[in-house]
Structure 1
Amino acid sequence: MSEIVPESIPLETAGTPVSAVMIADPFTCLASATIADVVRIMTERGVSSLPVVDEDGFVVGFISDGDIMGAVAQHRAHTLFTGGDASMLYFDDMSFEERVDQLKERCVMDFAVRKVVCAKPEQSIARVAAMLSKKKFKKLPVVNDEGALVGVVRRTDIVKHIFAKMFA
C-alpha cells in the first residue's frame, strides 16, 4: 500500500519537479524475493535500501539494511506456562550466524515496510524535501499516476541540486 506525499504540506507547488533529480529506473526487488536475494542486490549495487515491487512494477513495500539488521539482532523471548502460578521466560540462544542462516530464505515482505510514502514526478523538490526531513527518510520511491515505480529520489540528490544552485 502506497501513500503519496500530501499536497497539504504548506509549500510552493511550483518549482523544480522531483523528476529533475530522481534516479530513473532504480534498483528494486520483487515481493517474492528472499532476504538473501535482497542482501545480494544491495551489496552488488551499492545501495542500502530497495523499493519492493510486484510483477507489474507497483510499489508494495520498502526494505532497508536497517530492517535486515533489526531482524538479525532480534532476540525472541519465549514463555513456558506450567499450568500453575509459575511460568518461565527464556530467550533463544541462537548465535548471530544461526539467526542469519534462518533469515536468508525468509520472504522480503516479512520484513519490508508495507505502507510506503511515495512521491510523484511532478511534485516540487521542496515538497518532497519537506517529507524526507519530517519523516527522517533517506529516499522515497517516485510513482506515476497509476502507482507504478518510475524512480527514486534520495536526500543526496536534493542536496546536490541545492549546492548546484548555491554555487552555480
Structure 2
Amino acid sequence: MSEILSERIPLELEGTPVSSIMIEEPFTCTQDCTISDVVRMLAENEVSSMPIIDERNHVVGFISDGDVMGAIAQHRAHTIFTGGDASMLYFDDQSLEQRIEDLKDRCVMDFATRKVVCARPDQSIARVAALLAKKKFKKLPVVDDEGKLVGVIRRSAITEYIFGILFQ
C-alpha cells in the first residue's frame, strides 16, 4: 500500500513541480519477483533500490540493497519466547553462501517495505526535498491520482537542480 506525501505539511505555497526533474521511466520489479531477480536487476541497472509494482502499475512495495543486505546478514542469536518461563536460544550457524542459497528463490515482498511513501508529480521540489531529508530516503516513487507509478525522484536529481540554479 502506498501513501501519498501529505499536503498538510506547511512548507511553501508554490514551486517547481517534481515532475520537471523526475525519472519518467524508472526501473521497477513486479511483486512476483524473487530476491535473485531483484539483485540481478539492481546490478544490471546500477541502481540501489526500486519500486515494486502490481499488474496495474500501482506501487505495492519498495526494495533496496539495504533490505537485501539485512536479509542475508548473520544473526548471532535468536530467542524464542514460549509464553512461560522457558525460552529457547539458538545461534545462526549458516555461512553467508548458505543464507544466500536459502533466500534466492524467496519472494521480494517477503523483504520489501510495504507502506511506501510516494510523491505526486505536481508537488513542489522543495516539499519532496524536505521529506527526503527528514526521512533520510534516497528516492521516492511518484504516482498519479490513481496511485499508478509515473516516475521516481532521486535526491541526486534535486541536488543537480539546486547546483544548476546556484552555478548558472
Q: How does 1:18-97 map to 2 (within 5 A)?
A: 18-75=18-75, 77=78, 79=80, 88-97=88-97
- Runs of 4 or more off by more than 6 Å in structure 1? none
Report if the CA contact (8 A) 2:35-2:103 is conserved: yes
C-alpha distance 78-123 of structure 1, shift in aligned 2 (>3 A):
same
* Residue 79 of structure 1, CA deviation: 4.7
Could you list the runs of 5+ residues in structure 1 that have no partner in the other structure? none
Does structure 1 conserve the Cα–Cα contact (< 8 Å) formed by 2:74 and 2:96? no
Deviations, residues 97-131 of structure 1 (Å, cap 9, x unaligned): 00011111000000000000000000000000011
Indicate the residue corresponding to 1:109 in structure 2: 109
Whether 1:157 and 2:157 are equivalent positions in the alignment is yes
Contact 1:34–1:107 at 8 Å: present in 2 too?
yes
Percent identity among equivalent residues?
A: 66
Q: CA separation in 2, counterparts of 1:10 and 1:128? A: 12
Asked if the contact 1:13/1:123 (under 8 Å) is kept, the reply is: no
| C-alpha distance in structure 2 between counterparts of 1:52 and 1:87, whole Å | 37
AA aligned opposite 2:15: G
Unaligned runs of 5+ in 2: none
CA distance in structure 2 between the aligned counterparts of 1:79 and 1:47, rounded to whole angstroms = 37
Task: State the one-letter code of the partner of 2:66.
Answer: G
* Compared CA separation, residues 51 and 85, structure 1 to 2 (3 A): closer
Partner residue in 2 for 1:137: 137
* Code of the aligned partner of 1:56: R
Q: Deviations over 1:18-39 (max 9, x none)?
A: 0011000100000000000000
Gap change, CA 1:85 and 1:152, over 3 Å in 2: closer
| 1:95 maps to amino acid | S
2:132 touches 2:138 (CA, 8 Å); kept in 1?
yes
Native 8 Å contact 1:29 1:51 kept in 2: yes
